[in-house]
Amino acid sequence: MIDRRRFLSAAGFAAAATVGRAALSALPEPALRSSAETAPPSPPANGRPFHPVVTLNGWSAPWRTRDGVKEFHLVAEPVERELAPNMIARLWGYNGQSPGPTIEVVEGDRVRIFVTNRLPEHTSIHWHGQRVPNGMDGVGGLTQPHIPPGKTFAYEFVARRPGTFMYHPHADEMVQMAMGMMGFWVTHPRAAHPLIDQVERDFCVLLNAYDIEPGGAVPKVNTMLDFNLWTFNSRVFPGIDSLNVRQGDRVRLRIGNLTMTNHPIHIHGHEFVVSGTDGGPTPRAARWPEVTTDVAVGQMRQLEFVADEPGDWAVHCHKSHHTMNAMGHAVPTMIGVDHRGLIGPLQRLVPDYMLMGERGMADMSEMEMPLPDNTLPMMSGRGPFGAIEMGGMFTVLKVRRDQRPGDYSDPGWYAHPEGTIAHEWDGPLAAPTRSARAPALNGPAQEYAVRKPHGRSR
Ligand SMILES: [Cu+2]
């Protein structure tokens, strides 16, 4: 839900020199959001028309038009973000949430963005990927003075080229991005563009990562690689909404990576092309079908496909550690270890000792393990057939024949046509054919002579 409140007095803000006095006579009220629900697409109230995007578990910022300029108001501030039901993180973000609201404009629009700093330290905003006058590029210390706490700065430029962009601080970046400060920016084409196709569904996902101790709520800002919560728009599975589309829709999935590592994004059941990067639309001759594409640090990728296969299709990062929530990496691998006979003596010494991992870790997603408050299980989510055993960067593309155009609501689980689900085989089993030269399974141990280099052998 978007609520508006006016909290700025006329005093207490500063502005870049290029902004006229008239613009400062009043600031647009900032739109604030308290929930992590996916907002429906918001068609433009004024200005040039465009087909709005949907930010998963997010929303787009409203604007006002003043003297032909689109004015937005971003408030950098501490926020509480629900990462998934049962876990609230205390982050820094914009306008009540992390990520901040998606900014949608049209190529050629003159845009003025007021940025109010309600953080305990200075900040700035960089408009990642865009052509702007140098003094609007938002690099604190290099192209502008930092925005001190309590002050408001104004950025003003023309959105010169259409595409998928991001915004984020360029001030104490390691801390401010580890705390969740980032947002999406989409510049829609002003007219039919030879390299930009019309799509029926246009989704935005920012990849970010946090390191939050089990039981904690504030990210550890000095972590470089070993994050434990890998997020789409500061949400983890099962807290990430599904991408709900109508069969036959052309779908665009815009992905930006502001984590510290790359993410190979994988879509099941369909082939997509990368139709654009942060550098702009991809020439058609340079597009090829893929089912996984790597999104490197600092990159944007636009994935496009026709959703022509009905079903519930997984969409996820293919790094298996990125589809898990907080876990202990120091746990020994116990696969194949026979614990029988040990559990009794161990439990006499350590009453809470649990036998786990000797058959893999799938048991853990079924286990009702006590967890510290405000902590998510490592693998969770339930589907129609049981535990999905995922966390982190995972969601579901739901393709339905009867999803109405423009309806983004969750249609529920897919009803499979009869006879199209993998099932247990109950027919006769043929004896496996084995090579005559293969050592017999469970037979006597074989001895081999191994010849090593330099004639040495053993
Ligand atoms: Cu990943």
Average pLDDT over residues 111-138: 97
CATH class of 2-51+58-194: mainly beta
217-226: per-residue pLDDT in tens?
999 998 988 8
Task: Give the pLDDT of residue 211.
Answer: 93
How remote is the CA of residue 319 from the centroid of ligand 1, in Å? 5
Q: pLDDT tens digits for 301-349?
A: 999 999 999 999 999 999 988 998 876 555 556 666 676 676 677 677 7
15: CA distance to ligand 1 center in Å? 39
Query: How far, in Å, from the CA of 307 to the mean position of ligand 1?
Result: 23
CATH 2.60.40.420 in the chain: give the residue spans: 2-51+58-194
Cα of 320 vs centre of ligand 1, distance in Å, is: 8
Q: Are 59 and 101 contacting, i.e. CB atoms less than 8 angstroms apart?
A: yes
CA of 56 to the centre of ligand 1 (A): 17
C-alpha 359 to ligand 1 mean position (Å): 26
Rounded to the nearest angstrom, the distance between the alpha carbon of 414 and the centre of ligand 1 is: 26
Q: How far is the CA of 199 from the centre of ligand 1 (A)?
A: 26
Ligand 1 centroid to residue 73 C-alpha, Å: 32
Instruction: Compute, in angstroms, the gap from residue 111 CA to the centroid of ligand 1.
Output: 33
pLDDT winner (highest mean) among 39-43, 250-254, 335-339, 381-385: 250-254
How far, in Å, is the centroid of ligand 1 from the Cα of 203? Answer: 18
Could you tell me the distance, in angstroms and rounded to a whole number, from the CA of residue 235 to the centre of ligand 1? 14
Report the chain's mean pLDDT, rounded to a whole number.
87
Give 451's pLDDT tier (boundaries 50, 70, 90).
low
**Cα 450 to ligand 1 centroid, rounded to whole Å:** 41
pTM score, whole prediction: 0.83
Give one DSSP letter per residue of 376-443, joined into a string. Answer: --SSEEEETTEEEEE-SSEEEEEEETTPPTT--S---S--PPTT-S-----S--PPPP--TTSPPTTS
302: CA distance to ligand 1 center in Å?
17
| Ligand 1 centroid from CA 321, angstroms | 7
Return d(Cα 223, Cα 240) in angstroms, integer: 24
How many angstroms separate the Cα of 239 from the Cα of each of 36, 193, 242, 297, 375?
9, 36, 9, 23, 13
CA of 265 to the centre of ligand 1 (A): 7
Query: Ligand 1: distance of its center to the CA of 447 in Å?
Result: 43
Q: Ligand 1 centre and the CA of 263: distance in Å? A: 4
* pLDDT tens digits for range 64-99: 999 999 999 999 999 999 999 989 999 999 999 999
* DSSP three-state, residue 74: strand
Tokens representing residue 91 in the block: 């982050």
